[in-house]
Structures are given as C-alpha cells and as structure tokens.
Chains A and B, each alone.
Chain A
Amino acid sequence: MFDIKTLESYQAIDNKLYQVMDAEGKLVIPKWKSSLDNEQIVQAYRDLLFVRTADMMAVAYQRQGRMFTYPPNLGQEAIHIAAGLVMQEKDWLVPAFRELGAWLAKGVKLSEVFLYFRGHEDGSRFQEANRVLPVAVPISSQLLHASGLGYALNYQGEDAAVFAFVGDGGTSEGDFHEALNFASVWDAPVVFVIQNNQFAISVPLAMQTRSKNLAVKGIAYGMESIMVDGNDIFAMHDVFSFARDYAVTNKRPILIEAVTYRAGAHTTSDDPTKYRTSEEEEEWAKKDPVLRLQKWLTRKKLWDVSTEEELIASYRKKIDAEFEIAEHYPEYNIDDVFGYLYEEMPDELKRQKNDYMNFINSSGGVK
C-alpha cells in the first residue's frame, strides 16, 4: 500500500526510490501487502509473458519485412501491466509509443498495433478501446493533449484521470514543461508517467539532464512527484493506485518517474551495441521485471515455471493470428494519402503523388 503518508517519506527531492521487492523477488518493505489478490498477480504475470512474447515477435515480423518499424518494450513491461491494472474504462490513456501492455489493457487489439506499424491509418482507429489516443511520434506533444483532456474532465464534471506517458528524453522538450505547468495551473487530474529507460535513442540520461532525478521536475510546477522502481510491478501498482486516487479525489496532477531500462533497441532501426556496453546490459538484465515477479511467484508456490513453454507456444499462435489479421487487412487507398488536405490538389502535391506512384511501381515491392 502506498498512501499520502508514504508519499511524505518518498520525496523526489531526497532522491528516494519506492521499491517493494528487490531483483531477487524478495520484499524489501516488511509486512507489505498487495491490494491485488494472488489470482490477479498470477494473471499479471501471464500478461507480462504475453506482452513480452508479442513484443519479440513484432521485432521478428519487422525483420521479415512484414512491418515497417517497431519500438521494442523489452524490460519496461511491468510499468505497462501495472498501469493497465489501475486504469479504468473512463480514464484516458495518452501514450507516447512504448506502452504495449497498457494499450492492450485498455482494449486496443494487437492486430491494430500491428496494423499501425504496418503504416495503416486504421491501426489508430480502435474498434473496442475507449479513451485511448493514438501513438504520438513527435516527442512530448501528447502531454499537452493530456493536460487538455484533464481540463475537459473537470469541465464536464467527470471523476476520471488521464494517464499520460513520456520517455526520459521527452522531459527535455518544451512541451513537457508547458503541459506540466498547465495541468498544475488548471488542476487537471493527470497522472504523468516518465518512463526513464536511461536512453533517448542513443543519448544517455547523464547527457540529458543535470537534475538529480526526473521526478524533481514536477516540484517546479507545484505537483507531487514520486520516483518508483519501474521494474518492480508491485511498486508500480501501488504508486499508480495511489496516483489515480489522488488525481481524481484532489483534482490535481501528479508526476511519476518509473526508473527502468530499455533492454532492446530504441526502434528496429537502432543498434544499441554502438553506444552502450554489454556489462551495463547484463547488470540491468538481472533486474528484469518479468524475472523478478517470476521469482516472487515461484517462492510463494503460485507458479510452475515448467508450464511456461507451453503457455508461450499458445501465445505465439494467438499473436500470429492477430498479425495475420493485420497482414490481410485491406490495403489503404493511396489517394487517401494525398486527397484530404486540399479541396483541389495543387500541382506540387500532384507531382509528389506521381513521384510516389513511380516509386511504388519501381521499388522492390515495398508497399
């Protein structure tokens, strides 16, 4: 449990990290109890496995030329699953682009995720998910939308929160600061989540900021800020539960820094061996969120590791089926790409369209 009293002893300015269990899956807070029951925790572990499998398969699809690009979630999944456990249907999810588990929890279909990264606009038209914004490619721009959504919730008198995600690199963007300031000034119920995965593509955190941590940035805007071990699903769940409750009850924003590590590449176009050492990767691998929960569950005799292989095989089938839906989705009409900006297409746009058609017709089948 994390409450307002806990918050007092975990002030960002003191550089204190909220952690419930260590890398070995052992509790570091004596007598800690989860607000989740055992069944929910086991389900959370299954979700972690599912998301990790889907993530790794997504990278493989991209390498096979079946998807244009993909940002791997490897190592950060606990943050997303924990958020998924806390977010309610009426809450808004405002993603950056690396929150697969949270999207799925909100009802986004895996086939829609694949469709998006296959370059299809319909991948952002969620059939069953409510109150989820599409992926935001321009870094940090989504946070301004989040502040606006929070303001709107207040205006409409709804008791709901906005979960808004950004990376560590995003905190260097002006939009981040504008969004936090507006949310605070307007009392918008936004849970801002910085996924501090240590790298903005290849720029390490040390080159990104001179602040002692990223959570302290919230202090300047007059909001509560918490630094959490992002690879500890219990800690993340505690803090998300508290933050949602805090935001909705007090009509105030709150900032969470989830300290984690991007174990994979930034996207499939990136090669992290060029800018970081394998020692560093190995150090973080020991703190892996999935492994950590697995150790906890095994110790509690709630999980039999020997069943995992079969489970993952069944997940693989499911994921392949979802991918095939995306792969066989009707192709978009190329005219749509050019058709909607002007009532009548200007010459320059016609030229671009013509160039593009020539490219499509001459290129190696890349559509």
Chain B
Amino acid sequence: MKYIFKFADIGEGLEEGIIIEWYVEKGQSISSGDPVVKMETDKVVTDIPSPKDGIISQRFGAVGDTIKVGDALVEIDIPGVEGEEAVKTAAEQPLPPSETKVEEKGFGVVGTIEVAGEGAYLPSSGEGLPAAEAPVKQEGTRKVLATPVARAMAKDLGIDITTITGTGPAGRVTKKDIERSKHQQPAASPAQPAPVKEQFTSQPLSMIRKTIARNMIRSKQNATHMSVMDEVEITPLVEARASLKPHFAELGVNISYLPFVIRAVSMALREYPILNAELDMEAERIIYKNNINIGIAVDADDGLVVPVIPDTDQKSLLELATKLNDFATRAPKRELKLDELKGGTFSITSFGSIGGYYAVPVINYPLVAILGVGKITHKPVAKDGEIVVGNVLPISMSVDHRIVDGGDVARFLNLVLEYLQNPLLLLSMWDGGKEGYKGESK
C-alpha cells in the first residue's frame, strides 16, 4: 500500500516549514523512527521521523521548498499491506460539517460583504457594536470592519474596501485580503483585459534572511559608517603561502590568504584596542573586549553567516586555516552551532575570493570595525623607481566613526599592511598570544 506521510503542525500553530535536508532517497527503505527530513519552522529546526516501515516511493519538494502543514512530505510504499488500511490512511477525511448550520448572514460566504452588526461583533471589544444599533445602509456603501492601516492601504491601491470579502475575525478585512483582491481587480478600462504577464513572483523570507535584514538595518541605523581603502603589494606573502601550501595540504588543510590576514589583524588589534571595542551609549562608556574573536563572513547558499574564531591572536596559522576549512564545509550545510556565531569582537569579509577590489562593508553592529579583503591581481607597481608587475591586495575597512577616529583607523591599517607586506614580521613579531590581550591597557 502507499502511505502518504504529511507534514504536521509540529509547533502548535505553524502554517509551514522549509525543507533543510533530505535524509532519504527515492527507493530507499526506511524504518519507523528513522529521520526522513530536516525541517525549519518559525519555532524549531528539527528532524522528522518516519511513522512507518517501508520504501520511499516518492519525495515531495526539494531543499529550500516551503511545505505547508498538511501537505505531503513523502510517499511510503508499505509492502504486505493492501486494501482497507491503505484506504483508511489515504482518506483522512475531514469531519462532516456540523449539522447545526449557524444562520448568520455574511459569514464566510464568498461574494457577499461582511456587514457589521447582526452578531458579527468582536469579543471583548466595542468595535462593530454601534453599527448594530445604527441603521445599516442596505445599498451603496456598507460598513466593513477593517483597521485604519488596511483602509489606507485599500485607498492607496484604489480598491473599494466594501467589495472585499474579509477573512479576519468577525469578517474583518485584513491587509492580506486587500493584497489578494489587488490581484483579482479587473484592469481599469478595457472590457476584455488582455492577459497580463505577472510582474513579479514573490518568495517568503527565510528565517536567516529575516535575521540578516534586521541586523543590517540595525547597523546602518546605529553606527556612523566611515570607510577607508588602501592597497598593498604582497609578493613575499604570495611566495610564503605558495611554499606553505604543500605542507598544509599534507595535513589535509587548504591554506588561503585569509589566515595571514587574520593574523595581521589580530596582531594590529593588540596595538589598537579601540577597534576591538563597543560603544555603550546608555552607560556613556566604551567597552574594550579582553579577547580578540574574529568573525568571518561566510557565503552560504541560503545567506550570509558569520562564524567566529575565538582568540585569534593565540592561534597558529594551521589552527586558523583548519577552522576556516571547517566553517567552509559546515556553513553551507547549516551545521554551525549558535555558540559558534556568537562573541565576535571584529569582523573580516573576504569578498575578493569571489570578486571585487573594493567595497564599503557594513559593520556587524554592535562591533565597531570590519575589514574587507579584495581580489589579488597582477598590476604594475613602482619599485625602486622601476615599474614592475606586483601582486596587489586591496583592503577596505569600515569603522563606527562615533568612537573610532580617522587617525586611529589609518594607523591601524598601516600596521596591518606592514605585516602583510612582510610575512616574516607575521611570524617573528608574534608572541603566540601568550602575553594575553587586555583591551583597556593600551
């Protein structure tokens, strides 16, 4: 028999979930209790276990798809069970409608208008009641329940709100109803409207996108962004990395330029604690962080995440590279834990690995600085009065100008560039972080 396993309301009032990962393939056999799929909902991200033993005969939806509560997740072929039980599970018929039909006009009948009064009152609210006493105009405009916002929205769109069927409490016309009716509105003048191609398709925001959007707004509204850009010739670093690469590869670690940048930034931050700080306007103070924890912007399919490497000033290049490799593997699979996304004190974004020389990065508020690494290119540079081809690394930085002055950031950046220019300094000047870092002891 075929059993349809549907996505249930697993969070008391959910309407939908997003498929994060499939654990089963079509044709695979599954036991009751085995995980079928990982779902993200408004409330939880969780595995959904199979209720039956059998073989997956169909999967509904791909990773990223939104599945409504009550819609099918998989079809399970249960060998040996035929006929009646199959009918029973497939049926899951809704209960028959109540025999006591409530006789009230205007309730949920498509095409009529929700008229206030006649019992259509809202509990615990006076709204709608006076209309029951006032004579209701039988023709022309009829009174409709709606919030002022909804009324304004309908007006803006040029829609007569009295023509909309409300689906809210007591037939209240909601913004959703107006949105829906907007699409149903006939075109203005021509009697026979030509079929119009949809102007857009809409996609609901994922949790992660909502979070990113909120954070970006928070940063731009609170921090006073100021950016500075510079470039540095890094041929010695290119050579250093090339000679280290095979050794790291033997250990199974891929080394990019990023670990060097992290090292340079960490060392420079020890000299300039103001860039590893936070502004507490309420208490009118600056909070210097006693650790250097650098958040690395990682590009994942479903959106940017910024996992944090703690105590970067105390980590070897190998440790840094290993951590970056680990983030790169786990971030796209959404396996990063909440703890790993917390506690950053400075951020680095290395957009150059994809493309672009310069950018104006957005600070990961409430931090005060972010450094952007651009694309390394061969470019003519002047060296000892000659023009030679160099390896040029562009660097962009944004800081919160409320507490970081132009001089600070320029001096900081000079030091970072100096380190990157002379990779030997990165090694020789590093004390392994053993002296520790105290933000306030500048």
Q: How far is the CA of A271 from the CA of B45 in the complex (A)?
A: 7
B109 to chain A, nearest CB (A): 11
Query: Are B47 and A63 interface neighbours, CB within 8 A?
Result: yes
A57 to chain B, nearest CB (A): 8
**B9 within 8 A of partner (CB):** yes
Query: Are A268 and B337 interface neighbours, CB within 8 A?
Result: no
**Which A residues are CB-close (under 8 A) to B386?**
none
Q: Can you list 15 A-B pairs, Cβ within 8 angstroms, ordered by A?
A: A65-B6, A65-B8, A265-B44, A268-B11, A270-B44, A278-B337, A334-B95, A335-B98, A351-B119, A354-B98, A360-B95, A362-B94, A364-B6, A364-B68, A366-B9
Query: Are B44 and A364 interface neighbours, CB within 8 A?
Result: no
Q: How far is the CA of A279 from the CA of B310 in the complex (A)?
A: 15
**Which B residues are CB-close (under 8 A) to A334?**
95, 98
B97 to chain A, nearest CB (A): 6
Query: Are A60 and B97 interface neighbours, CB within 8 A?
Result: no
**B280 within 8 A of partner (CB):** no
Interface centre among A268, A274, A348, A364 (most CB of B within 10 A): A364
Query: Are A347 and B68 interface neighbours, CB within 8 A?
Result: no
Q: How far is the CA of A361 from the CA of B98 in the complex (A)?
A: 10
Q: How far is the CA of A69 from the CA of B44 in the complex (A)?
A: 13
Query: Are B11 and A366 interface neighbours, CB within 8 A?
Result: no
Query: Are B97 and A64 interface neighbours, CB within 8 A?
Result: no
**Which A residues are CB-close (under 8 A) to B71?**
364
Q: How far is the CA of A355 from the CA of B50 in the complex (A)?
A: 32
Query: Are A63 and B94 interface neighbours, CB within 8 A?
Result: no
Query: Are B102 and A271 interface neighbours, CB within 8 A?
Result: no
**B46 within 8 A of partner (CB):** yes
Give the total number of A-B pairs whose CB atoms are below 8 A apart: 103
Contact with B along A164-177 (1 / 0, CB 8 A): 00000000000000
Query: Are A365 and B70 interface neighbours, CB within 8 A?
Result: yes
**Which B residues are CB-close (under 8 A) to A279?**
339
Query: Are B51 and A358 interface neighbours, CB within 8 A?
Result: no
Query: Are A273 and B10 interface neighbours, CB within 8 A?
Result: no
| Known interface pairs A363-B70, A365-B92; A273-B9 also in contact (CB < 8 Å) | no
Query: Are A353 and B98 interface neighbours, CB within 8 A?
Result: yes
Query: Are B48 and A361 interface neighbours, CB within 8 A?
Result: no
**Which A residues are CB-close (under 8 A) to B107?**
351, 354
**B390 within 8 A of partner (CB):** no
Q: How far is the CA of A350 from the CA of B107 in the complex (A)?
A: 12
| Known interface pairs A360-B94, A361-B94; A366-B119 also in contact (CB < 8 Å) | no
Query: Are A347 and B338 interface neighbours, CB within 8 A?
Result: no
Query: Are B119 and A348 interface neighbours, CB within 8 A?
Result: yes
**A307 within 8 A of partner (CB):** no
**Which B residues are CB-close (under 8 A) to A268?**
10-11, 44
B312 to chain A, nearest CB (A): 19
**B12 within 8 A of partner (CB):** yes
Query: Are B337 and A361 interface neighbours, CB within 8 A?
Result: no
Q: Which of A57, A65, A347 contacts B9 (CB 8 A)?
A: A65
Contact with B along A245-288 (1 / 0, CB 8 A): 00000000000000000000101111101100111000000000
Q: Which residue numbers of A lie inside 8 Å of B, CB to CB? A: 57, 60-66, 68-69, 265, 267-271, 273-274, 277-279, 320, 334-335, 347-348, 350-351, 353-355, 357-358, 360-367
| Known interface pairs A278-B339, A279-B339; A271-B6 also in contact (CB < 8 Å) | no
Q: How far is the CA of A267 from the CA of B46 in the complex (A)?
A: 13
Query: Are A64 and B48 interface neighbours, CB within 8 A?
Result: yes
**Which A residues are CB-close (under 8 A) to B198?**
none
Q: Which of B51, B119, B337 contacts A273 (CB 8 A)?
A: B337
Interface centre among B5, B8, B43 (most CB of A within 10 A): B8
Query: Are B50 and A361 interface neighbours, CB within 8 A?
Result: no
Query: Are A350 and B102 interface neighbours, CB within 8 A?
Result: yes
**Which B residues are CB-close (under 8 A) to A277?**
338-339
| Known interface pairs A64-B49, A269-B11; A361-B69 also in contact (CB < 8 Å) | no
Q: How far is the CA of A204 from the CA of B94 in the complex (A)?
A: 42
The residue of chain A having its C-beta at the shortest distance from the C-beta of B123 within the complex is: A348
| Known interface pairs A64-B49, A65-B8, A277-B338; A271-B44 also in contact (CB < 8 Å) | yes
**B108 within 8 A of partner (CB):** yes
Q: Which of B7, B33, B51, B98 contacts A66 (CB 8 A)?
A: B51
Residues of chain B from 45 to 77 with CB closer than 8 A to chain A in the complex: 45-51, 68-71
**Which B residues are CB-close (under 8 A) to A363?**
70, 94
| Known interface pairs A60-B33, A65-B7, A351-B119; A357-B97 also in contact (CB < 8 Å) | yes
**Which B residues are CB-close (under 8 A) to A68?**
9, 12
The residue of chain A having its C-beta at the shortest distance from the C-beta of B4 within the complex is: A365
**B104 within 8 A of partner (CB):** yes
Q: Which of B5, B8, B12, B123 contacts A269 (CB 8 A)?
A: B12
Contact with A along B72-106 (1 / 0, CB 8 A): 00000000000000000000101101101110100
**Which A residues are CB-close (under 8 A) to B9?**
65, 68, 366
**Which B residues are CB-close (under 8 A) to A273?**
45, 337-338
Q: How far is the CA of A347 from the CA of B7 in the complex (A)?
A: 35
